[in-house]
Structure 1
Amino acid sequence: MPIEALDPVAAVRRFNRFYTRAIGVLEKGYLGTPYTVAEGRVLYEIATADGVTAKEIGEITGLDAGYLSRIVGRLERDGVVAREPSVRDGRSTVLRLTARGAEVFPPFDHRSAALVEGLIGALSGAERSRLTSAMAEIEQLLGARPSASVLLRRHRPGDMGWITERHGILYAREYGWNGHIEAVTARICADFLDGHDPERERCWIAEREGERLGCVFLVQDDAAHVARLRLLMVEPAARGVKLGKRLVAECVDFARAAGYREVVLWTHAVLTTARAIYAAEGFRLEDAWTHDDFGAPEVSETWRLSL
């Protein structure tokens, strides 16, 4: 029977039966692992966040608190997940992968991606576009939650390309800057990948339900006691919910914990929203000069925060 001929309830149920079979949801061990789909989803949320609470995972996944607690307990017993005190709130704990978990998760994640690629591998570019558009419409019609929690996670493969692309597009669209901003961003990203110290330097990606919404970096400056905040960016769709403030606060907290005494940054007078965030966090304007590297005269600024 053509799916168009089914009533909406029957059509959705038919699609669910097709898709759960296609992605192997009904298998006892999902993707050849000892974990169920629900356990794999919880593992994914922990692995892709830079410290996440059980409550946040519950908000993202909709899992019952008791069921979620049992899943986390199993992951802890398996030695792939551990609890540690939250840097931002000493009264709570966050979940992170252990060294064993860091070995277990990548193959799991790669198998998941390979499964999807196997499903869509035979589709043409136009067919893939139709597929993603249809899925986006399903999410919209069935009430995808725009208020779902935004997680901050560490970078992973593909993020640096996204950061470079979005900086080039957004600064060109919003301020008319030329391609030099993309070149600057690419060099910063490449330098970070080539030699960052994970104990003292970090990139955070803001993500909601798999969609990247923003980023920021903290790296060591020329002096060992000074950190530099770089490449703060928030997607237009995620503005107005204090995500930029959260990213900057995360940098400052990390800088304190890493033993830095100062945080410095480079920005521009035209970036009024970012400047307001820096000022609210306690940064002070230290220097200003004019350049035309991005196609027209812009006022550059150095801001500094004493920790």
Structure 2
Amino acid sequence: MERHVAEVRAFNRFYTRLIGVLHQGILDTPYSLTEMRVLFELDRADRMETGDLRRLLGLDAGYLSRMLTRFEGDGLVVRKRSATDARRQVVELTDEGRARFALFDGRAAEEVRELLAGVTDEDRGRLVASMAAIEEILGREPRAGSPYLLRPLRPGDLGWVIYRHGTLYSSEQGWGMDFEALVARVAADYVDHHDPAREAGWIAEVDGERVGCVFCVRKDDETAQLRLLLVEPSARGMGIGGRLVAECVRFARAAGYRRMRLWTRDVLLGARRIYRAAGFELVEKEQHGDIVDEIWVRDL
């Protein structure tokens, strides 16, 4: 945790410096970032009550009032009493204000365009995806009731499965490249020896993004194996893990297997709860240093 705190703070310092550089362009205007945000919100709306604007941006009433007084002096806004409640004040951009903001906004876009000009298409995609991830993770609300989709594997999914197992379990459990290599071998074996009548894999998606996976593979004629169950932290609590396991069990039963087994580790408490709820029983343990491998089995 402390390492993560330090890394977030270091990123904040870097981004603050970057925003400062961009703001020098902001564009060569006399307005601060907060003032530009007020103009942005007013440009998006026909008009806003000053109380709504203050609450939206978390501004002190006196500070906002002084800001709007300045904008009035510059000919950018007008303030009027609300037609429905004389105690309330409504503010809107003038034609001059909209024209000036459009100019400022164009300059801002050009500053960012220049910043990205030396970045490859691939890195721009990574950058935007990472920014979206930051916004989604730190700004998301509980997703327990969100819809999700289970679908068959598509090209590109196996690479994601290997990558996310490697990065996620390194972050959460400290497992190294040996574990990632094991996942890669499982994925490769699935492709090399795939029997579509008796083996399948599924990807779980939320809003078009992969958030989970599971595989059903052949152990022998009577036994199927559940492998590579994973649910992203952002999607936990939505019932996706249990749904993936249930789909795997359903497929194995329909494919004619008599039992299903799986391998896990004792530290994966969330996964163990899912397996127990799905009818699996712990039948074998094996200690490897600090790691305890487990075999769970259920009849079909």
Identify the residue that residue 78 of structure 1 maps to in structure 2.
none
Identify the residue that residue 104 of structure 1 maps to in structure 2.
none
| Contact persistence 2:263–2:294 (CA under 8 A) | yes
Q: Which of 253, 274, 286 is 1:256 aligned to?
A: 253
Is 1:298 the counterpart of 2:291? The answer is yes
1:230 aligned counterpart, secondary structure: strand
Does the C-alpha gap of structure 1 residues 303 and 127 become closer, same or farther in structure 2, counting only changes over 3 Å? closer
Q: Which of 236, 241, 248 is 1:239 aligned to?
A: 236
Separation of aligned partners in 1, 2:291 and 2:160: 25
Note the residue ranges of structure 1 that are not aligned, 5 or more in a row: 11-119
Identity %: 49
* Structure 1 residues 27-46: aligned runs within 5 Å: none
| Contact persistence 1:148–1:209 (CA under 8 A) | no
Taking structure 1 as the reference length, the TM-score comes to 0.55
Is 1:271 the counterpart of 2:268? The answer is yes
Taking structure 2 as the reference length, the TM-score comes to 0.56
| Contact persistence 1:206–1:215 (CA under 8 A) | yes
| Contact persistence 2:218–2:224 (CA under 8 A) | yes
Deviation at 1:226, TM superposition (A): 0.7
Identify the residue that residue 201 of structure 2 maps to in structure 1.
203
Q: Which of 161, 186, 211 is 1:188 aligned to?
A: 186
Does the C-alpha gap of structure 1 residues 7 and 151 become closer, same or farther in structure 2, counting only changes over 3 Å? same
| Contact persistence 2:283–2:296 (CA under 8 A) | yes
Give the greater-gyration-radius structure (CA): 2
Q: Which of 176, 179, 194 is 1:178 aligned to?
A: 176
Note the residue ranges of structure 2 that are not aligned, 5 or more in a row: 1-26, 28-38, 47-115
Does the C-alpha gap of structure 1 residues 139 and 219 become closer, same or farther in structure 2, counting only changes over 3 Å? closer
The one-letter code sitting in structure 1 at the alignment partner of 2:189 is D
Separation of aligned partners in 1, 2:290 and 2:135: 45
Deviation at 1:128, TM superposition (A): 3.6
Separation of aligned partners in 2, 1:166 and 1:208: 16
Separation of aligned partners in 1, 2:210 and 2:230: 11
Does the C-alpha gap of structure 1 residues 225 and 274 become closer, same or farther in structure 2, counting only changes over 3 Å? same
Deviations 1:197-228 (A, max 9, x none): 1121001100112210011000110x201100
Separation of aligned partners in 2, 1:174 and 1:133: 19
Does the C-alpha gap of structure 1 residues 137 and 243 become closer, same or farther in structure 2, counting only changes over 3 Å? closer
Separation of aligned partners in 2, 1:195 and 1:169: 26
Identify the residue that residue 216 of structure 2 maps to in structure 1.
218
The one-letter code sitting in structure 2 at the alignment partner of 1:8 is R
Deviation at 1:300, TM superposition (A): 0.7
Separation of aligned partners in 2, 1:178 and 1:224: 33
Deviation at 1:289, TM superposition (A): 0.7
| Contact persistence 2:146–2:238 (CA under 8 A) | no
Does the C-alpha gap of structure 1 residues 128 and 300 become closer, same or farther in structure 2, counting only changes over 3 Å? closer
Deviations 1:225-277 (A, max 9, x none): 11000011111111112211111111111111111110011111111111111
Does the C-alpha gap of structure 1 residues 144 and 262 become closer, same or farther in structure 2, counting only changes over 3 Å? same
How big is the alpha-carbon RMSD for the aligned residues of Structure 1 and Structure 2?
Answer: 3.3
Deviation at 1:137, TM superposition (A): 8.9
Identify the residue that residue 61 of structure 2 maps to in structure 1.
none
Does the C-alpha gap of structure 1 residues 300 and 138 become closer, same or farther in structure 2, counting only changes over 3 Å? closer
* Structure 1 residues 141-180: aligned runs within 5 Å: 146=143, 147-180=145-178
Separation of aligned partners in 2, 1:171 and 1:137: 20
Separation of aligned partners in 1, 2:244 and 2:194: 19
The one-letter code sitting in structure 2 at the alignment partner of 1:156 is R
Does the C-alpha gap of structure 1 residues 261 and 211 become closer, same or farther in structure 2, counting only changes over 3 Å? same
Deviations 1:94-148 (A, max 9, x none): xxxxxxxxxxxxxxxxxxxxxxxxxx9x9625544555467779999xx999554
